[in-house]
Amino acid sequence: MTKEYMFPDDFLWGSSTSGPQSEGIEPGDGKGMSNWDYWYSVEPERFHGQIGPEKTSTFYKNFAQDLDLLVETGHTVFRTSIQWSRLIPQGRGEVNPQAVEFYRQVFQGVRDRGIQLYVNLYHFDLPYALQEEGGWESKEIVWAYEAYAKVCFQLFDDLVDRWITFNEPIVPVECGYLGDYHYPAKVDAKAAVAVGYHTQLASALAVRACHENNPEKKIAIVLNLTPAYAKSQDPEDLKAARIAELFQTKSFLDPSVKGHYPEELVDLMEEYGLTPEVTKEELQIIANHTVDFLGVNYYQPLRVQAPLLEYQDGDLLVPDHFFAPYDMPGKKINPHRGWEIYEQGLYDIALNLRDNYGNLEWLVTENGMGVEGEEVFKDHGRIQDAYRIDFVKGHLKELHRGIEEGSNCKGYMMWTFIDCWSWLNAYKNRYGFVELDYESQERTIKKSGLWFKEVSQANGFLEEE
Ligand code: BG6
């Protein structure tokens, strides 16, 4: 039997990327140093293949031709980010005129092609001058970010359809202050909580500034809403899943959408002496300036069980004291990246937003399949990524189910447009609709990119079931 998966009339189709992962650095472009540029300059061996952020996918040089590929792959929406360190090289003060020209040309180019433009202000990249002042551990950075956001709204609001304050703000918290995966690679729970709180405050300030600049303009935050599933119905496993969700999801979702932190999270912070310095005025800003819609990044679920590590006074506190990862037997896996594939997670997110977050408007802003060594799938000059098409279809079916049941999802953006640089993983895992030959910088649309255009044009797809 043939089943139709058709999406609402105003549904958007596209992909996401970010400035630091795609633009590259050109001599004399006036860009300042970011935390990533700095880290690569001192520890290049940490980056896969020792490939750093200076070249990436050379979008800075090639954007005009690249934007044509958006059309060829059926985009009706595109998300990228402004690099703070490109626009305001020292983080505060002087604006780089070349950056203004570049971003205006890119944004105009997207619009000229009839594609909606979503622009993110922050995708893990801080000007290094501000990192040296203490980075997000310092409340001063919050005000610097607010000033930067205001500059962006003043310079580009006429070209941007919708704004985004931060991408996956929990990631720099986890990877930079609890893990060893983002600069400054510390393990310090108190610093992690302060970084999270400062980021949330900064996001609310950007929402306020956006609306002050243009009351009609909509602004969101992008969160990786990875549902936490418990290993069993055992109360200890259930508690672990609840806490994992508090940390990973609700820590930003609740204040961003509801305007306040969950009580259980506040109590836990208190209990472990992690509460940051908070003023009533700041909490009021967070309460008064919630987002207009939400971006959701979803790759894989979080499966957890009761913690295997017991916390003793004086231990370095880490998330493992609250929940342990659970490797579920028989799970479906993307063998090229090692991540679980669980399409229903997207349906669960859809219903969670419908039922617990006022059914606010949302879009999938990232979903995708990373493939290491993808060149082996090249045949007749094209990456034949049927696996990626299956991956997308599987997720779209679950999203469709969520929308049919009333969830307010308005679009689907893949990670990513052209294969891009991915932090410490550099070019290890390829995600793009468009293949990048890193050496020659040649671009070739993959099978999935051609397929996506058909889906976008038809506003859905048919499936034999
Ligand atoms: C997303 C990030 O969570 O994961 C992207 O927003 C990142 O910036 C992507 O590139 C893929 O990550 P990885 O580690 O598989 O290359």
Cα dihedral sign, 10-15-16-20: negative
pLDDT given at position 200: 99
pLDDT given at position 161: 98
Ligand 1, closest atom to CA 18?
A: 8
pLDDT given at position 342: 98
Which of the following is catalytic: 23, 343, 366, 398?
366
Domain boundaries, the chain: 2-464
pLDDT given at position 37: 98
pLDDT given at position 453: 98
Compute the distance from residue 334 Cα to the ligand 1 centre, in Å.
15
- For residues 158-168, average pLDDT: 99
pLDDT at 465 over 90: no
Ligand 1, closest atom to CA 224?
A: 3
Residue nearest to atom 16 of ligand 1 (CA): 422
pLDDT at 216 over 90: yes
pLDDT given at position 195: 98
pLDDT given at position 39: 98
* C-alpha to C-alpha distance for 118 and 309, rounded to whole angstroms: 42
Ligand 1 pocket, mutate which of 46, 79, 222, 366 (most atoms under 8 A from CB): 366
Q: Please report which confidence band the pLDDT of residue 314 belongs to, taking 50, 70 and 90 as the band edges.
A: confident
Compute the distance from residue 171 Cα to the ligand 1 centre, in Å.
10
Residue nearest to atom 14 of ligand 1 (CA): 425
Let me know: does 341 contact 300? Beta carbons within 8 Å. Answer: yes
Region 2-464: CATH code = 3.20.20.80
pLDDT at 419 over 90: yes
Our answer to whether residue 366 is catalytic in this structure is yes
Q: Strand 12-16 vs strand 2-6: parallel, antiparallel, or unpaired?
A: unpaired
Compute the distance from residue 234 Cα to the ligand 1 centre, in Å.
33
- For residues 86-115, average pLDDT: 98
Q: What is the 3-state secondary structure (H, E, C) of 217-231?
A: CEEEEEECCCCEEEC
pLDDT given at position 347: 98
Compute the distance from residue 273 Cα to the ligand 1 centre, in Å.
32
- For residues 130-159, average pLDDT: 98
For residue 54, the SS3 value is coil
pLDDT at 274 over 90: yes
Compute the distance from residue 422 Cα to the ligand 1 centre, in Å.
6
**pTM greater than 0.75:** yes
Ligand 1, closest atom to CA 339?
A: 15
Q: Please report which confidence band the pLDDT of residue 307 belongs to, taking 50, 70 and 90 as the band edges.
A: very high
pLDDT at 220 over 90: yes
Q: 372: which DSSP letter?
A: E
Beta-strand ranges (E) seen in 288-447 are 293-297, 302-305, 324-325, 333-334, 339-340, 362-366, 371-372, 378-379, 382-383, 409-415, 429-430, 434-437, 442-445
pLDDT at 335 over 90: yes
Which of the following is catalytic: 23, 137, 168, 398?
168
Beta-strand ranges (E) seen in 215-312 are 218-223, 228-230, 293-297, 302-305
Ligand 1 pocket, mutate which of 414, 418, 422 (most atoms under 8 A from CB): 422
Residue nearest to atom 12 of ligand 1 (CA): 422
List ligand 1's pocket residues with C-beta within 6 A.
18, 21, 167-168, 224, 297, 366, 370, 415, 422, 425, 429
pLDDT at 192 over 90: yes
226: left (phi over 0), alpha (psi -120 to 50) or beta: beta
- For residues 253-266, average pLDDT: 98
pLDDT given at position 422: 98
Render 74-106 in DSSP notation, one character per residue: T-SEEEEE--HHHHSTTSSS---HHHHHHHHHH
Note the pLDDT tens digit of each residue in 344-401: 999 999 999 999 999 999 999 999 999 999 999 999 999 999 999 999 999 999 999 9
Residue nearest to atom 9 of ligand 1 (CA): 422
Compute the distance from residue 423 Cα to the ligand 1 centre, in Å.
8
- For residues 158-178, average pLDDT: 98
pLDDT given at position 321: 97
